[in-house]
Each structure stands twice: as structure tokens, then as C-alpha cells.
Chain A
Amino acid sequence: MPFNTIHFLILLPPVAIVYYILPHKARYFWLFLASFGFCALWSTISALVLTGVTATTFISGLMIESSKKIKSKKKRRARQRAWAALGIILAASALLSFKYFSYITLGVANLLQMVGVSMQSPQFSLALPLGMSFYVLRAIGYLLDLYKTEDAAQKNVFKLALYLSFFPYFAGPIEPPGDFFEKLAKVKRFGFSRLQEGVLAIGWGLFKKMVVADRIAVVVNTVFERYNDYAGFIIVVAAILLAFQIYSDLSGLLDIARGVGEILGFDSPVNFIQPLFSTSMINFWGRWNSSLSGWFVDHVYEPLGGGSRPGFFESVNVIAMFLAYGLWHGISLKYALWGLMHGIVVVSARNSQTSKEALTHSLRIRTTLFSYRLAKIIVTFLLVDVTWIFFRASDIFSGYEILQRMVSEFNPWVFIDGSFLELGLGRNEFSLMITGILLLIVIDICSISNDIRQKIQEQNAAFRWLVYLFGIFFIIVFGVYGPRCNPSPFIYLQF
């Protein structure tokens, strides 16, 4: 049940009301039931797989803790390592099986063919259970944390299940387990201000998804799926729109998640901190989906050695982390390339810091000026956007062809001859899309030095209500939903 459906919006209030009516001790169980039900509504397989991963993670966690009784440190660590590895392998295998089922069977079929055994690959693929990529990361993170820190394992299987599958967070953010259990333990009282902030976050998320992202998706899909029919500036503009689509889709999803979490008393950090205004790739990764990238830093980069050996090895660790990040999206060359590109650019940026400073100094470029910052923002945006092209294209060859077609023709007349109105959106819809993007940028700029939600909360009731009603009106009238529209699912739901 995606967030941008009426079913979810109808079911959320009763879930929240019952939550606050129940005594504190019973609330986690109610949230577990709601989360499990959310998963089961998606599909029975989702619920079964979640149950399986929860069970194996829970048991592995208990066994890691029970291994503390072993007096010999070497044996204790070996036992803990074995149980952690087992739990991680089981969780990861489940994910790999679903995600890469068709690739695995094709690979097996090819291998068998090489030795003269013919095998027909199954003509179906396994639909990924809801949120699996995320709760498997949580499970792996939980077991790794238990192993590293020797903290106490979660003794309540329902609380662990809730951590793994908390329904507002099924597609992120990924919180450290300790933080989540700490929040779970706190008594939460209903607060109107928290409700208002949560509703504002949900509204903003729905606006980004339903008004902006889904509208951009029409144009992007038209161009990327038939890129051979387009060239030059049409593809350039579609590529730029792609960046806004991914940003508004993903940040919209996490805004809604954050809002729902806040209504239930679970505050989560902001995951997107104006990433469109990043001044470098390193800066970008500090602003983009920080909880997910933080997970890869903590559980891939650091275990590989992190920055303990600066220079070549650190660079390798960075690239390996980004490669893993890319492959987490899917076992495909395009995702691997996406990850590699980011890794290489981040490493290059780090290693060339001194040279860049020297260059700007020698060219007498004043780095404190707005123009310099703007140039860096634009360059970073373009670099990130190039990687998104490969991410979105059907494969790396298509991605390369799309880049080629961008420069194959110089056709500035497309900006005035109505070509953009033939990409699936009429004039009014296209104008609305541009308006939505501009509003997104303006709000992001304002958010740099202001907490917009806080500012709205501080205003008089009449103004606040006007903002809320206008926002709801905007989403209802201009959102892409309903029988005559073709809304896209949240991009990160497919992962």
C-alpha cells in the first residue's frame, strides 16, 4: 500500500488514534501489527519473507549475545562472528534470491549448457517483497552492531520485527537499531504541534511526489524510452528533469515517512539537505539520503578499513563502498557503473583538493563569491546528472547512446517551437511541472537558513490554515492520481 494512495491516508488516522489510546507498553505491539499488516496487504510473500528474516535475525542476535558467556575471548569472538555471519548470510541470501533470481537462474542455465546439460530458465521472476532491500540492510546492520559493540540483543522478537519493518520507514530511512529502540522505549504523548509538523511533512512529500515527480516522469519516460527519436536539447532537458524527478520522488517518499513517524512520536533526522545545491560530490553525499549512505559507510567502508590507511587503500575502500551501493540497487552493469562513477569522482575530489586550491589561488579566483559557489553547484549537478542517466537508462549502452545523442545535434529552436509539448504533457501540465520545480527550488533555498515548518507553525492560525488548505487543494487538484492519470510508483519501491 504505497503512501500516495487514498487507502493509506484513510488507514493512517485510525492507526495513530489507537496508538495513542493504548497504554505505552502495548503500543509497540500495535505498531508491529500495523507494520506487519501493511506488509501483508502488499503481498502474502512479503509477510512470509519478513517473518523469516526477522526470525533468523532474532535467533542470530540471541546467539551472539549468549556467546558472551564463553570465557575465552578468541573463542567468544569466533562464535559471535559465526552467528553474525550466519544471520547475515541468511538475510542476504533471501534478498539475493528475490532480487537476482532471474540472473542466477540464467547464470546457472549458461553454466550447465557449457557442460552439455540443457536447462530452460524459468519464465517468471520473483516480485521483490515490500521493503526487503531496506529491512535486510537493517538486519545486517543490527547483527554487525551486535558483533562490533557487544551490546545486548533485542529480547523481544516483536520489537525487533518492528525495527526491521516499521511501516513508515519501509523504504527508508535506515536508523541505527540502538536509536530506534531508544525512541521506542520513550513514552510519547500526543502533541498537536507534532501532529501539525507531521502533516506538513506528509503534505510536502505528497506534493513533491504527486505534483512534481509524477509529472516529470511522463516527459522523462517518453524521452528515455524512445531516445532514438530525440536529440540535442530535448535529451539535455529530459536529463535535467530526471535529476529533479529522482530528487522529488525519493525525498518526497522520505518526507512522508518522516511525517508519519513524527505523528507517531518517532523523530528522524532529515535525509536530504538541499542536495541540489551541493558544491562537490563529497558535499553531495553528505546531503543525499544520508541514512542509507551512512549505512554503507558504517557497514561496508569502515569494515573494509575505512580511512585507517590513507591514500590508495582508502580510495579503494571508497570505490568498493560505492560499488556495493550501486549493486544494492540491482545486479546490473548500469548500477555498478553508477556506483563506480560516484566512487571515482569522490576519490578524485578528495585527492585533488590540494591541487584545486593551488589552481584557484594561482588563477586568483575568489572562492568566497556567489558566482564561484554557483559554478560549483552547476558542475556538481551536471556530474551527478550524468550518473543518473546511466541509472535510468535500460543499460549502459543505452546510457552511452543517450549521452551521445545529447551532443549529436545543436537544436535550440526546440525551446520555442513547441517540441517540449509533444513529450506527453500538454501546455498547462508542462507549465505546472515547471512551476512545481521552481517551488521546490525556492523552498529548498529558504530551508537553508530556516526551518520552514517551524516558521509556518509560528504564524497565526488563519495564515497557517490558509497554507494547509492551499497545500491540500494543490495536491488534490494537481496531483497525478485517480482513474484518468497514470501515477508512477515511488522509484525506491522497486529496490
Chain B
Amino acid sequence: MKNVLKTFLFLILLLGMLLGLNSFFCENRPHFLSYRKLSYGKLDVLVTGTDHMLSGFNTMRLWQEYGISSYVLANEAQPYAAAYLNILEALKSQRPKVIVIDAYSALYGESYCGFLSDKSLLYENFEQVPFSMDQVEVMWDLLPFWEFCEFYLPVYRNHSDWASLRKGFFIPGERDGHPFAGFDYPKFTTAENEIPALVLGETPMSPKTEASLHRVIQLCNQENITAIAVQLPYAARKDEAQDWYGKENYLRRFLENLGVAYFDSNALAGEMGFDYNLDMIDSDHLNFSGGVKFIDFFAKNLIEGYGLKDHKGEIGYYYWEGLEDEYQSYISAETGQ
């Protein structure tokens, strides 16, 4: 009996050590540290999505010009399954009036959105959400068994990082490069883009993408929060145009059936005064001027269509007010104005 108890105690210690190592070697920390600084009830727009949102959804422009508070919980190649988990976590401390869903995620081809061959993106997207039973459920559904086990064993994946250990490497902190309520430092370069002709016809989304998107919309409905699908401007590559535009057509009908508004910036590019050669840094991401044009157009939609108000000067919006100076300094330094 004594030996059994000793063994049990040893196993507890071992488990503790393994959990500690697991946590230590988890290189993608949950990115809600800044988010949790927001005062309760002061978030108007929660934005989920891919790196398009990180570079294109200018939260500071939306705040400075329109007094609408927003936060971007996006990541490169974020699939809707990760967006779902981000929203669940976000709703624990906020009640936004609008949730923006990135329509670009619908275009990914693989069963869970394009990074089947790039596991680092998989881990990055899902490890940024704190552990929860919802996360376990989503990952169990998404991944084969051994990959599921691998996901929950960051020590197994990352232990070789001991060789590059440095001070602060594994310390949880702010998400680098997304300092403005989740919005990245805007870029000022441009690129030449050719816009392929639109196509008719539909190409279905991948089944898991569709199921995940449906789940996100259902969650918004359950929480009585308005969901808007937003497609930021992008220039499809010629060989992908048929597939991507076909999926957009499918998505448009899908959203219509569910009663979700679809803000298609590509279709509205003319009205926005958007120039694909001056307002983008490459074929996928908006530069500063592109972000400004998009926000100016989208903000009108938010105000007129969803009744969002100007909160500048009101108490409780310290977070956004606190970022204004830094943002302005950055823009001035970049533009020389």
C-alpha cells in the first residue's frame, strides 16, 4: 500500500513537471493580454480573420475619426474554427455590438483551411486561444488522433528550442507587431496588381470550412450579436481566380440564406475610390491608404446600418485613447507629416 501511494505521489510530481514543461515550451501564448485590458462593455466591433484584417482593419482610424471602438483578434490563415474559439473567449469579457467575420477564410481549399502542410500556422492559430473544453472539442473534430495528441504536447514539438533559449523567449507577453488593438503597424508601400475578370458560377467551400463558418454564425445568433462577413480588397492570382471567385459566389449565397450581411469590398472598390495599385502592399494586403479608404467606407455602414455611435470623450475608452499618441507618432514618422 505504501508503495502504491509513493508511486501515485511520484506520478503526480511527474505530471506536474510535464505540465510545466508543456507550458514552458508552448511558443504561441494566448493573445488576450491586451484584450483583457479593455473596460467591460466598451467594445463596439470585434474583428476576427486572417492577416488581411491585421493589416487592413485600421482600428485607430475607426476610433479617431468615428469614435467606434474595435479590436482585431486575427492571425495568419485563421480558419473559422479558430475564429469561433476566439469569439467564445472574447465574449467572456466583452459584449460587442458587431462581429466582423473575414470572408477570405472561406477561400481556403483544404479541409481545415490551407495549412494542412504548414503545422506551424495550425499551432499558431489554435494555441493563441487559452485552453478550454471548447478548444478540445474543436481540435478533436479537426485533427486526426495523433495530431490531436501532438497539438496538446507542445513540449514534444518544441523541446528542441532549448538550444535557442533566450531571456524573454517563452515569457507571455503582448503579441508582437499588433500594437493597435490588434491592428498591425500600417505599411506605406504599393504594388502593381492585375485584377482578373470576375467569374460566374459557384465553387463550394470545403466542408469543414463551411461547418465552422456556420458554427460561428450560430454563435453570434445565440448571443444576439450582429455578424457581418467582410471581404477586404484583394487581387486574385489568375490561376486561382476561378476557384476563389467561385467560392465567393457560393459564400454570398450561403450568407444570404443565413441572413448574414456580406460586405464585399472588391465589389465596392469603385465606390470606395480604391486603387489596387496604390492602396495595396501586395496582392493580398492593404497599405495605410487602402486601410483608411476601407474604414471610411465601412464606418458609414456601421453607423447607418447598425447604429454604432461616436464614443470619443466618453469614460471607459481609455485603451483606445491611450494608443492615439503612439499611432499618430508612427504615422507622422512614416509620412513625414
Contacts and interface: CB of A to CB of B under 8 A. Distances in A.
Interface residues of A, number: 21
Interface string A165-195: 0000000000000000000000000001000
A217 B150 CA distance: 25
A484 B157 contact: yes
Contacts of A472: 14, 17
Interface in A461-493: 461, 465, 468-469, 472-473, 476-485
Contacts of B159: 476-479, 482
B303 to A, nearest CB: 48
Interface in B134-162: 150, 155-160, 162
Given A465-B10, A468-B10, 18 more contacts: A6-B156, A428-B163, A429-B163, A461-B6, A469-B14, A472-B17, A473-B17, A476-B18, A476-B21, A476-B155, A478-B159, A479-B159, A481-B156, A482-B156, A482-B159, A483-B119, A484-B158, A484-B160
B19 interface: no
B162 A477 contact: yes
A481 B158 CA distance: 10
Contact of B157 (A465, A473, A480, A482): A482
Contacts of B164: 428
Interface in B1-16: 3, 6-7, 10, 13-14
Interface string B17-36: 11001000000000000000
A198 to B, nearest CB: 13
Contacts of A429: 163
A426 interface: yes
B141 to A, nearest CB: 22
A469 B156 CA distance: 17
A472 B13 CA distance: 12
Given A469-B13, A472-B14, A477-B21, A485 B3 contact: no
B187 to A, nearest CB: 31
A468 B13 CA distance: 11
B200 to A, nearest CB: 43
A160 to B, nearest CB: 35
Interface range, B side? 20 to 34
B6 A473 contact: no
A426 B163 contact: yes
Interface of B: 3, 6-7, 10, 13-14, 17-18, 21, 119, 150, 155-160, 162-164
Contacts of B13: 465, 469
A192 B3 contact: yes
Contacts of A478: 159, 162
A192 B160 CA distance: 33
A483 B157 contact: yes
Contacts of B7: 192
Contacts of B160: 480, 482, 484-485
Contacts of B155: 476-477
9 contacts: A6-B156, A465-B13, A476-B155, A476-B159, A477-B21, A477-B155, A477-B159, A482-B159, A483-B119
Nearest to B161: A484
A485 B14 CA distance: 24
A345 B158 CA distance: 47
A465 B160 CA distance: 25
A457 to B, nearest CB: 13
Contacts of B162: 428, 477-478
A476 B14 CA distance: 12
B158 to A, nearest CB: 7
Given A192-B3, A468-B10, A477-B162, A483 B150 contact: yes
Nearest to A193: B3
B165 to A, nearest CB: 8
A376 B207 CA distance: 70
Nearest to A473: B17
Nearest to A428: B163
Contacts of B17: 469, 472-473
